Every structure is written in C-alpha cells, then in structure tokens.
Amino acid sequence: MTRIRWRRRALILAVVAGAAVGCGDDRDLSPIPALRALRFETTTVAVGTTPQLAGSFSYLDGDADVSSLFIEVTTPTAQAQTVGPSPAENVAGHRSGTLAFTFTLNAGAAGAYALAVWVVDALGNESNHLAATITAQ
C-alpha cells in the first residue's frame, strides 16, 4: 500500500498568462465568471515524479474582474487538496479571454488524479468548475 503525504508545497500553482481575446458584443455577459474548454498539454505522468503541468481554459466575465484561480486535486486514494487562491494575472479589465496556468503535481501513487479548476472574481462570485484527469503510471 502506497502512502501519500501531502504538504502545502506538494502542489505549486502559478498563473503564467492571460491573453485576452475579444468576442463581439459582450454587454449582456453575466457578472459571474463562466469557464469552458479546459486543456492540458499532457494527461499522463510517471509515478514518483513531481512534474510541472501546463493548462488553459477560456473565460467570460461580464464585469471583467476575475481575480483568483483555484485548483483542487483529488489523489487516487481520495485525498483532496485545494491550491489557491493564486492571482489571475493579465486578465483584469478583460471580459473574455484565455487563462493559462502551471502547477506542480506530486504523483506519488499510480492512478487517476481528478482535477477541478475554477476562478473567483473581485466580488467573490465563483465560476463553474471544470474537470480533468491526470493519470500517473
């Protein structure tokens, strides 16, 4: 039986870019952020490693005040850890765009690592959560 010990530094999250893209007339966008199209560069990692993973998603936010990014990782042994808030850089003032981020995963056990990603805006409105799976083998 493999035992996983989580430490605050086991997951390191860094928001690295937020390239805004326009999307026509967005005056009627909701002030609550909405996320879609979560992507990761890789979805398979080696057991016993701590790889840095890169991901991105698209967002819409009617009042252009996305401020923080969160990631929750649930290990194959059902231990969960939420990392964040991390500042959502380069998105202030943009009602839509793509937010890119990196984080380090401690892949101490084989199996599926369930990820949930979401943002919170300056008023505390929480977006929908996007889900992904990273497999350690």
Residue pLDDT tens, the chain, 137 long: 333 333 333 344 444 434 444 444 445 568 999 999 999 999 999 999 999 999 999 999 999 999 999 999 999 999 999 988 999 888 889 999 999 999 999 999 999 999 999 999 999 999 999 999 999 99
Domain definitions of the chain by residue range = 10-122+130-136
What local confidence, expressed as pLDDT, does residue 28 receive? Answer: 55
What local confidence, expressed as pLDDT, does residue 29 receive? Answer: 67
DSSP assignment, residue 32? S
Q: How many CB atoms lie within 10 A of CB 31?
A: 12
Question: What fold does the segment set 10-122+130-136 form as a domain?
Answer: Immunoglobulin-like (2.60.40)
Q: Are 45 and 134 in contact (CB under 8 A)?
A: yes
